[in-house]
Amino acid sequence: MSIGVGATAALLLFAVWPLAAVLRTALADGGAPLLAELAEPGAHEAWFNTLVLAGWVTGLAVPLGATLAWVVERTDAFVSERTRGATGALLTLPLAVPPYLLAMAWALLGNGRNGLLNRIASAPWVDLYGLDGIVLVLVTASYPFVLLAVRASLSRADPALEEAARTAGAGPVRVLIDVTIPLVLPSMAAAAGLVFVFATAAFGVPYLLGSVASPPVYFLTTRIFRYTTLGGEDMLARAAALAIVLLATSGLAQAASSWLAKRRSTVQVSGKSSRPSLVRLGPLRFFVRAGLALFALTAIVLPLSTIAWTSLAKSFAEPGTLSFVHWNNVLAREETLGAFVHSIVLALLTGALVAVLGLVVARMAKVTRRAGAVVSFLASAPYAVPGTVLAIGLLLAFSLEYRVIVADRVTFALYLPGTLGLLIVAYGVKYLAFGVRGARAALDQIHPSLEEAARTSGAGPLRGTVDVLLPLVSPAVLAAFVVVALPCLSELTMSVLLFGAHTQTAGTLLFELQSYADPPAASVVATLVVGIALVGDFLSRRLSRRRTT
């Protein structure tokens, strides 16, 4: 319990307090900045665009992710179980790639004037600048959330439910519509909520592809970004006011999705588990395979290889001439190594911190219903706060030194600016939601008697948790660790505001190169980031496979 209290205190200090600092500025003078912002037509437009964007992204990513999940989990489209597993892994790769890198790649490939695709086709047939392009890129970045959730839910569902429909006379398609989809609807709804929030809070992609469109399109996040870059207290208050709007929007979406998810309880009694019989695709098999391959090529392989390839192209003017000159330049720079070391350390530490804290919070939510619900809300809310706003909150809250004084002596002093600590706090607060989510799902799958057996064997609550619960949830905790560590590896939005003289990260390096010094060198860093992320992803898969045996 004391761990729970500690976790709550940490949450209040590191998550709630900085946000409160932001809100306070937004609500200064009786809410003047908020009211002023609400009266702005520009704000209305940004809000409207955000809703349209999030709506489209959700509307496309959910069916796409769910379809892919079904194909991977339930059809005979694969030659062997190995290819099934490999395809599943390949399709979740985008999770390991920062969305703004995807946007960079797509900007190169698909800008309306001279994107590579258009150059190859010698005709302007794609234009990814503007809302359409942003939607598409965000869809390719976010469908894996749905894929993972629906796959998990499909593999948990009692196959007899679907088989009963088959024997009742329904063909595979009818089964899909009448039984499978309703069964996975709750998990689809939950994933839809996540995707909606993801799209609402997205910054990099809307900025990179929206501001160069003609006319440019703005969203809540990019408008907030402008306010923050323009500087001044007034602007900060405006940004905070918009952040409230953003938070409310994504909060509503979250609430709606969890309402939808809970409305019909789908008790998934699993009897003796048998592998469900796979849907035989017959002649469609070829088309499904071709479709999968085409999708993986365009949505995953193409953008990633574009990034790698630009890093080798001599300049943007002559994309055909390859050389290692940028690689040599980047690798020769003193700070490159430092930045990557920092990022890897940050990713590992934050991943570990969030995985553990997420577990603690999820556990609290299970043990003490009401308090737990509040705490898990607090832990999940910051994900919906734009990184810029969160970073400003942290700057406002932690530019001062906090001293704990016992017996009139300073016993503990906390001063974060310029340290990796501040970045860990920022990343941790932002991504805690993932940790809580993962841990909750894992805990729900563990029969309470396993832990009770430890108690009756003589283990106290802590001991029981360590000896029984932790080992059992460790695959899920590892997954949460990876899901958090990957975006931290390349985090950009918050890092550029919070890094210190000695704490440059891969993200800030990338940003610096991209926007000031040397754009081709940025592709090198991007390639490195993606490479490290893919290696990390691969290693964690290996590790978790070993664990589950």
Partner 1 sequence: RVEVGAPRVRQQAADTQPTGRVTVYTSMYRHVIDAMKPILAEALPEVEVEWLQGGSEKLATRLDAELTAGTPSADLVMTSDPLWYRRLAEERHLAAFAPIPALAMPRTLVDPRGYFVTSRISTMVLAYNEEHVKPDEVPRTFLDLFDERFVGRVTTPDPLGSGTTFTTLAFLVHTHGEDVMQRMKAVNTIASGGNSSTLTRLESGEHHVGFVLLENVLAAEKRGTPVKWKLPEEGAVIIPGPIALLAKGPNPVAARAVYEVLLSKAAQEKIVDGLMHAPFDTLEPPTGAPPLPKLLDTKYQWTDDFVHAAVDQSQTLREKFSAIMGGH
Partner 2 sequence: MSESGLELRAIHKRFGDNHVVRGLEIALEAGEIVALLGPSGCGKTTALRMVAGLETPDSGTITIAGQTVKSDAVDLPPEARRIGMVFQSYAVWPHKNVRDNVAYPLKLAKNGDAGARADRTLELVRLGGMGDRFPDTLSGGQQQRVALARALVAEPKLLLFDEPLSNLDAKLREEMRHEIRVLAKQVGITSLYVTHDQPEAFAVSDRVAVVLDGVIAQVAPPREIYAEPASLAVAKFVGRLSILEGVERTGEGRARVQGFELPVTSATDAQSVVLGVRPEDVRLADGGIEGRVTRATFLGERTELEIETLAGTLRADVGRSTPVHGGGTVHVALDGGRLYATPSH
Ligand X SMILES: Nc1ncnc2c1ncn2[C@@H]1O[C@H](COP(=O)(O)OP(=O)(O)OP(=O)(O)O)[C@@H](O)[C@H]1O
Positions that interact with partner 2 (CB under 8 A): 158, 160-161, 163-172, 174, 178-179, 182-183, 185, 264-272, 274, 277, 280, 447, 449-450, 452-461, 463-464, 467-468, 471-472
435: closest CA among 365, 387, 535?
A: 365
Residue 128 or 185: the one with the smaller Cβ distance to partner 2 is 185
Stretches 37-45, 56-64, 374-382, 483-491: which one binds partner 1 (CB under 8 A)? Answer: 37-45
Smallest gap from Cβ 46 to ligand X, in A, equals 47
Query: Pattern 15-34, binding to partner 1, x per CB under 8 A?
Result: --------------------
Cα distances (angstroms) measured from residue 227 to each of 224, 235, 237, 241, 453 = 5, 5, 9, 11, 56
Cα distances (angstroms) measured from residue 313 to each of 310, 318, 512 = 5, 7, 20
Number of Cβ within a 10 Å radius of residue 349: 18
Smallest gap from Cβ 441 to partner 2, in A, equals 18
Contact between 513 and 492 under an 8 Å Cβ cutoff? The reply is: no
Tell me: does residue 406 bind partner 1 (CB under 8 A): yes
One of 31, 417, 461, 475 touching partner 1 (CB under 8 A):
417
Residues 201-230 that bind partner 1 (CB under 8 A): 211-212, 214-218, 223, 225-226, 228-230
What gap in Å lies between CA 244 and CA 239, rounded to an integer?
A: 9
Residue 172 or 351: the one with the smaller Cβ distance to partner 2 is 172
What gap in Å lies between CA 305 and CA 412, rounded to an integer?
A: 49
Contact between 181 and 103 under an 8 Å Cβ cutoff? The reply is: no
Which residue, chain included where needed, has tokens 């734009």? 386
Q: Which residues pair with 279 in a beta bridge?
A: 75
Cα distances (angstroms) measured from residue 285 to each of 23, 83, 86, 162, 293 = 54, 14, 18, 20, 12
What gap in Å lies between CA 502 and CA 54, rounded to an integer?
A: 37
CA dihedral 184, 187, 188, 194 (to 10 degrees): -170
Terminal Cα-to-Cα distance of the chain (whole angstroms): 32
Smallest gap from Cβ 508 to partner 1, in A, equals 7
The entry of partner 1, ligand X, partner 2, none near residue 508 (CB within 5 to 8 angstroms by kind) is partner 1
Which residue, chain included where needed, has tokens 């309402």? 259
Smallest gap from Cβ 45 to partner 2, in A, equals 40
Tell me: does residue 291 bind partner 1 (CB under 8 A): no
Tell me: does residue 499 bind partner 1 (CB under 8 A): yes
Give the helix/strand (H/E) hosting 218. none
Residues 6+ positions from 226 with CB-CB distance below 8 Å: 218
Tell me: does residue 415 bind partner 1 (CB under 8 A): yes
Tell me: does residue 517 bind partner 1 (CB under 8 A): yes
One of 82, 113, 275, 447 touching ligand X (CB under 6 A):
275
Smallest gap from Cβ 191 to partner 2, in A, equals 18
Residues 6+ positions from 164 with CB-CB distance below 8 Å: 179
What gap in Å lies between CA 229 and CA 231, rounded to an integer?
A: 5
Count residues near ligand X (CB under 6 A).
2
Residue 274 or 399: the one with the smaller Cβ distance to ligand X is 274
Which residue, chain included where needed, has tokens 């609400």? 38
One of 515, 535, 542, 545 touching partner 1 (CB under 8 A):
515
Tell me: does residue 496 bind partner 1 (CB under 8 A): yes
Smallest gap from Cβ 418 to partner 1, in A, equals 6
| Cβ contacts of 274-278, under 8 Å, gap ≥ 24 | 274/159, 275/159, 276/74, 276/159, 276/162, 276/163, 277/159, 277/163, 277/166, 278/74, 278/75, 278/76
Residue 174 or 333: the one with the smaller Cβ distance to partner 2 is 174
Smallest gap from Cβ 238 to ligand X, in A, equals 49
Overall size of the chain counted in residues: 549
One of 46, 68, 197, 224 touching partner 1 (CB under 8 A):
46
Query: Pattern 229-248, binding to partner 1, x per CB under 8 A?
Result: xxxxx--x------------
One of 502, 542, 545, 547 touching partner 1 (CB under 8 A):
502
Which residue, chain included where needed, has tokens 């088989």? 163
Smallest gap from Cβ 50 to partner 1, in A, equals 13
Residues 89-148 that bind ligand X (CB under 6 A): none
CA dihedral 123, 128, 130, 132 (to 10 degrees): 110
Smallest gap from Cβ 34 to partner 1, in A, equals 17
Residue 163 or 234: the one with the smaller Cβ distance to partner 2 is 163
The entry of ligand X, partner 2, partner 1, none near residue 517 (CB within 5 to 8 angstroms by kind) is partner 1
Greatest Cα-to-Cα distance within the chain, rounded to the nearest angstrom: 80
The entry of ligand X, partner 1, partner 2, none near residue 160 (CB within 5 to 8 angstroms by kind) is partner 2
Using CB under 8 A as the criterion, which residues of the chain lie in contact with partner 1 when the complex forms? 40, 42, 45-46, 111, 113-114, 211-212, 214-218, 223, 225-226, 228-233, 236, 315-317, 333-335, 392, 395-397, 399-406, 410, 413, 415, 417-418, 496-502, 504, 508, 511-512, 514-519
Using CB under 6 A as the criterion, which residues of the chain lie in contact with ligand X when the complex forms? 274-275
